[in-house]
Structure 1
Amino acid sequence: MDEIKDGKVNIERYRIKEGTKVNLKKYSTACDVVIDKAKVKSLYFPEVIEKMKDLQEKLYAQDTYGLIIVLQAMDAAGKDGTVNHVFANLDPGGVKVVSFKQPTSEEKDHDYMWRINKALPERGDIGIFNRSQYEDVIVTRIHDLIHKGQLPQDLIHKDFWEERYEQINNWEKYLHQNGFQMVKIFLHVSKKEQQRRLMDRIINQQKNWKFSMSDINERQYWDRYQELYEEMITKTSKDISPWYIVPADNKWYTRYVVALITLEALKKINPQFPKLAPEVQEQLEQFKKLISEVDIKSLEEIKNSIDKK
């Protein structure tokens, strides 16, 4: 394992290059570098958050680009915790978090991307997708929901899923060409760690509220999920909208890497505070001068008051 002394983890180690055939068994689920956990939590992570906040402010002020962070994973991999610990530190006015759960009856009456499009962030904002459009090539496929849904049956053929991957890739390209960057993160948790976390939800009363029988039921499809996630990442990790496979067994490390990936995405956008129009700049300079003169007069008044005493 690489030893990291200054906290500068190279996130390229987790980025899936376009054209790579993914085998999840070859990717680590645990922290795969030698790094000081205490320093990450007390020093490195807070430093990254501060840099993210600075760039977020510029992104919001510039109001031209938008950023979409997709979080996809198996149950109990830490999506909610990642949202709370990484993105809750940003200005909530410029962050939009959307969790995609089982589609409502209204959502089922539209195309599968309808609810995703509705959730897109505005320019200047960061959108966090807790699950995403990729539910419709994973869960839908696991449970054969296509044949049980309202899609016309004559549209379902042998190349159906290839077409859906193509649709998603084209949509992400369209967003990129319109100033909305997308970064996709797969939180890679081990089957053993998922079991431990699910058991914790059952045993720990403070976490009982997180427990859902659906989590237990979905676990029986573990191997099929892994197979489909491999296919999904292989077919949809593009240079303009890459996938990152992030180790998820160690929550402190997962959150740090996600923060680093987000910071890098913001750096690539390179947002800047907008320049003021000449007339506004002139007004600002006049106001600065006025304030300065007021301050000088105030100081003189205070001095005279003291002298009189």
Structure 2
Amino acid sequence: MIVITGATGALNGATVEHLLKLVPAERVGVSVRDVARARHFADRGVRVRQGSYEDPAALRESFEGADQVLLVSSSDPRADALSLHRAGIEAAVAAGARRILYTSHQGAGLDSPFHPARDHAATEGLLAESGVAWTSLRNGFYMHSLEWMLGSWRETGVIAAPADGPVSWTDRADAAEGAAVILAGEREFDGPVTLTAGEAVTFGDLGIERVVLEDEEWVAERVAHGVPEFMARFMLTTFQAAREGRFAGVDPALAELLGRQPRTVADYLSPRGGA
């Protein structure tokens, strides 16, 4: 059985949908906080059990019989993500999973300015120490993040943001489909696997008017528009990491898994592209 956490969220929910096109529903289980929100999966024969990283006992039960477990990373910038991920790994090991998969991020590194990258790298360390085969899905930076990073650029026609660097902006839906192909396939992917779009671009490459703001000027502007300061500073670390080239790499693995080229940031930014 393949058990997927966070299946009522956008990323792993899409992974489940793609997985159900590849394997019978009785081979799929989901571990979710609220089983009512997963009724659409239960109605199709998916095993639905309650589980969360905050409740290790329930989590272990939700992983019962799992051959593979896909752990979603914590998305709360204020949470102790590493402790939550440790609970997920320990529950999967206790349940007897043969392989643990984890939704990591391109540029994972303990020294990255981008705070989640440190958590991802530390979690990969825990996976390596778990004694179980593991796969870290280092997804490219999700391109829908541009909407909250760049503010009102669609209305103004201007990208006014801090200095950046090349980023292989990746469609979350493509990453979800790639994960499903890995879960359903016979090929084993060991350790980190980088799943990105086929090119890395800067904001200056997008054919949109570009204004470079100083870091503190941008933070103040975001706060003035109602963004909490802690969140603005969290977002700033994205630009800082990009300037160091942390998100510049591209890899053909996602295209190979999909059997087509992944969606590009140009597709997303086109008038008909959207989120």
| Structure showing greater Rg | 1
Q: Does TM, normalized by the shorter one, top 0.5?
A: no
- Greater strand content: 2
Q: TM-score, normalized by length of structure 1? A: 0.29
- Greater helix content: 1
Q: TM-score, normalized by length of structure 2? A: 0.31
